[in-house]
Amino acid sequence: MGDVRAMRLVGGHPAVDFVNTLGGAKNTPNDEYLHAYSDLVIWSERTGLIDSELAGGLARTAERRPQPAATALEDALQLRGHVDAILRATLAGRAPRAADLDAVRRAEVDALAHAALTPHFAWTWTATAFERPLWPLAHAVLDLLHSKPLDRLGECERCRWMFVDTSANRSRRWCSMDACGAIEKMRRHRAKH
């Protein structure tokens, strides 16, 4: 049971950090950070996808209207599953499944349907719907899939967290030296003595 306020954002890209909101052991993901819609809002603010004013507004509205907020969270978790599958297929050198690609396409269609183009040719969103955090998120996913950092995608040796490895010789092994890196060091130390 993870606390989204304390979650380490070590993925190196918002789309990777999004997938990391379900962490834990590789085969039995058991460290969920998105328990409620408000967690999605906090996470989106922490990763810079929405600003604090909008985050406050969405959280307050969700308290009054829990049902549509829960539906938006469900949509986010569905998208997370598809992005997770695409990234893990990429890591394994496999082609992603058509169903996963289509889910990302649908999220991007929805995002662009609500977007405006700024004079600097960037997408921007102004609506305050519960789905609002998903729009820049869908766009971030496409950015990751299009961009070179995907070549540097790696997975922690101990847990299911992924990251964009920006080390010079691609030697990153852990999600974080404070978490899995420290546990592994301790394990080796004990094995030695």
What residue has token string 């546990």? 183
Residue 8 sits in the site that holds Zn ion (CB under 5 A): no
Residue 159 sits in the site that holds Zn ion (CB under 5 A): yes
Among the listed residues 156, 162, 164, 172, the single contact to Zn ion using CB under 5 A: 156
Shortest spacing between CB 21 and Zn ion, in angstroms: 14
- Stretch in the footprint of Zn ion (CB under 5 A) among 1-9, 25-33, 44-52, 152-160: 152-160
Shortest spacing between CB 36 and Zn ion, in angstroms: 24
How many CB atoms are located within 10 Å of the residue 134 CB?
Answer: 24
CB closer to Zn ion, 62 vs 175: 175
Token representation of residue 40: 């999605």
Exposed, middle or buried by CB within 10 Å (0-12, 13-18, 19+), for 9? middle
Binding mask 40-79 for Zn ion (x = CB under 5 A): ----------------------------------------
CB closer to Zn ion, 28 vs 126: 28
Residue 9 sits in the site that holds Zn ion (CB under 5 A): no
Shortest spacing between CB 82 and Zn ion, in angstroms: 22
What is the amino acid identity at position 139?
A: H
Of the candidates 45, 36, 38, the residue with the CA atom closest to the CA atom of residue 9 = 45
Site for Zn ion in 170-189 (CB under 5 A): 175, 180
Residue 158 sits in the site that holds Zn ion (CB under 5 A): yes
- For residues 161 and 20, what is the distance between their CA atoms, to the nearest angstrom? 5
Output the DSSP codes for 89-137: HHHTTPPPPHHHHHHHHHHHHHHHHT-EE-TTS-EE-----TTTTHHHH
Residue 86 sits in the site that holds Zn ion (CB under 5 A): no
54 in Cβ contact with 147 (< 8 Å):
no
User: Pairing mode, if any, of strands 29-32 and 22-24?
Assistant: antiparallel
Shortest spacing between CB 63 and Zn ion, in angstroms: 34
Which residues contact Zn ion (rule: CB under 5 A)?
Answer: 156, 158-159, 161, 175, 180
